[in-house]
Amino acid sequence: MAATKPDFFIHSGDTIYADGPMSAEMREPDGNIWHNVMTEEVSKVAETLNEYRGRHRYNMMDVNLRAMYAQVPVIAQWDDHETVNNWYPGEIIEDPRYTVREVDTLAARGRQAWQEYMPIADARALRPGTGFEAARIYRQIKRGPHLDVFALDMRSYKGKNTAGLEATETALLGEEQLDWLISSLRTSDATWKVIGNDLPLGLIVPDGQAQESISNAENGAPLGRELELARLLAAIKKYGIKNVVFLTGDVHYCAAHHYSPERAAFTDFNPFWEFVAGPINAGSFGPNTLDGTFGPRVEFQQAGPPLGSPRSGDHQYFGHVDVAGDGSEFTVKLINANGAEQYTKTLTPQR
């Protein structure tokens, strides 16, 4: 990643796996034994503040990660594994590995540790803070006349994971964040408006019998969380907001999705692209199924074998975007950990 000499890095979340204890040894598919470097904090699920901090410290033991962060500014988001898999506010977990069952308590500790290691400016302050205050995660980052980045927080305001079939809107962004996003998109004068959504829009991501992400695996009119996305997409069309591109992670493979009302059950929106890249440093698997409500089509996807080892680098992916100096092109490349380009797409702006 550093070799591509990026101006900045959008980290879509799952910066750690706080709920994934490590073992000193594991047997590889070829029969060889892999030996892990161990610390006390990675040997169990994180519950205390120090254990969450220890997860971040463990990542920082890697010389390549430290070199990347020394060279490249990071626009950080968080997802679920900074706390516990698929969590939502108010949840009481039943996992027997935990002595602390209240997710709100775990999330507060995980959030503090995350922001200590992923400092962000306070988007609400007129003057910049140190980056270590309890800042609002969702924010707008201007990068010259041709690019604005809108980093979302799709975890802090999330409603309970259900089947997603409610006739009334259920929260993912929440009302305040959704209003902010629409207003900020309307006032942006950048050529390209990139939305960093830490959960994908159209992919079905199950949580047992419930749904973790927006989609509900039912291809009809929007329901539940889909109603919130429908409001956003309809507003983008209503206010003539052009050149919006979504960049996401969460799932463990890479893909390019094109959304169009011509294929959709909900049609009050303009066509757009969503690009998926992940994981950097976890097992690979997928691909997930797309929900048809917003008319997505797979233009490209590539996944490794189920829970394939990250050590080959063949199926760990990141995205690289190049915005032309005059804004005339927006080129997306999906690249694996060995530096091999898997897919390229160049978009041109609507004027």
Q: H-helix or E-strand containing 176?
A: helix 175-187
CA nearest to 247, candidates 210, 280, 277, 279: 277
Mean pLDDT of 165-193: 97
d(CA 327, CA 126): 29
Homologous superfamily (CATH) of 138-351 is: Alkaline phosphatase D (PhoD) (3.60.21.70)
pTM more than 0.85: yes
CA angle 66, 40, 26 (to 5 degrees): 85
pLDDT tens readout for residues 124-171: 554 555 656 667 899 999 999 999 999 999 999 999 999 999 999 999
pLDDT tens readout for residues 278-337: 998 888 999 999 999 999 999 999 999 876 777 889 999 999 999 999 999 999 999 999
Please state the length of the chain.
351
Compute CA 72 distance to the chain's CA centroid, rounded to the nearest angstrom: 19
pLDDT given at position 169: 96
d(CA 313, CA 5): 19
Instruction: Give long-range contacts, CB 8 A cutoff, 24+ apart: 28-37.
Output: 28/309, 29/309, 34/311, 37/61
Beta pairing partners, 25: 35
Q: H-helix or E-strand containing 60?
A: helix 49-60
DSSP secondary structure of 84-111: STT--TT-B---TT-S--BHHHHHHHHH
Beta pairing partners, 92: 102
Tokens of 252: 């463990």
Number of CB atoms found within 10 A of residue 217's CB: 16
Domain boundaries, the chain: 1-131, 138-351
Mean pLDDT (the chain) is: 94
Beta strands 317-323; 330-336: pairing state = antiparallel
Q: Which whole-number Å values give the CA distances from 217 to 146, 163, 164, 165, 225, in the listed order?
A: 36, 9, 9, 9, 12
pLDDT given at position 312: 85
pLDDT given at position 130: 61
pLDDT tens readout for residues 70-125: 999 999 999 999 999 999 999 999 999 999 999 999 999 999 999 999 988 765 55
- What's at 143, amino acid-wise? R
CA nearest to 276, candidates 332, 192, 220: 332
CA angle 191, 334, 248 (to 5 degrees): 65
